[in-house]
Amino acid sequence: MKSVGARVRATIRDVPDFPKPGIIFKDITPVLADAALFRDLIEAMAAVYREQDVAVVAGIESRGFILGGALAAALGAGFIPIRKPGKLPHDRRRVDYSLEYGTDSLEAHVDAVSHGTRVLVVDDVLATGGTASAAIQLVQELGGNVIGVAFLIELAFLSGRDRLHAVPSSALVMYY
């Protein structure tokens, strides 16, 4: 029987020239639609962190919410959203970061984590590492202790792992 990673990889849909020409977008929608595969991938991701006393999972907007919420439930942890600006209703902390094509920002509620809270950051894809790096910085500025960063997919050829502030990371599917 195929591993969970192999099953996920076989189910991911490549969408050429999205969001711009030359990019091959890794669409996880078919993966999420397969109930058994979704359950299995969450269990595989949770297994990496099950013994690490994760108190809170921080999911990065937007697909990180889907994975992060399910992962938080599997780990018996809380969940906090890390959002694009202007989406959170309460007092927020903001981190600006650079992208290959400009800048962007992430926000979280200022009371999202208590000092020393063990946080696992989750997103669907690790590409250049800019968004994940900003999420780590944001959680740390709030006082959280980022114990890991979990991804469904890592585009290793983009070397995004190098930008993760030496925080351990994991990915279920790697593209080299």
Domain coordinates of the chain in residue numbers? 52-175
Whether the pTM exceeds 0.85: the reply is: yes
Catalytic residue positions, numbered? 63, 100
Q: Does residue 3 register a pLDDT over 90?
A: yes
Contact between 79 and 72 (Cβ < 8 Å): yes
CATH number assigned to the domain covering 52-175: 3.40.50.2020
Structure confidence at residue 98 (pLDDT): 86
Strand residues in the chain grouped as ranges (E): 13-16, 24-27, 56-60, 78-82, 92-99, 102-109, 118-126, 145-155, 169-175
pLDDT in tens, 73-115: 999 999 999 999 999 999 999 999 987 677 999 999 999 999 9
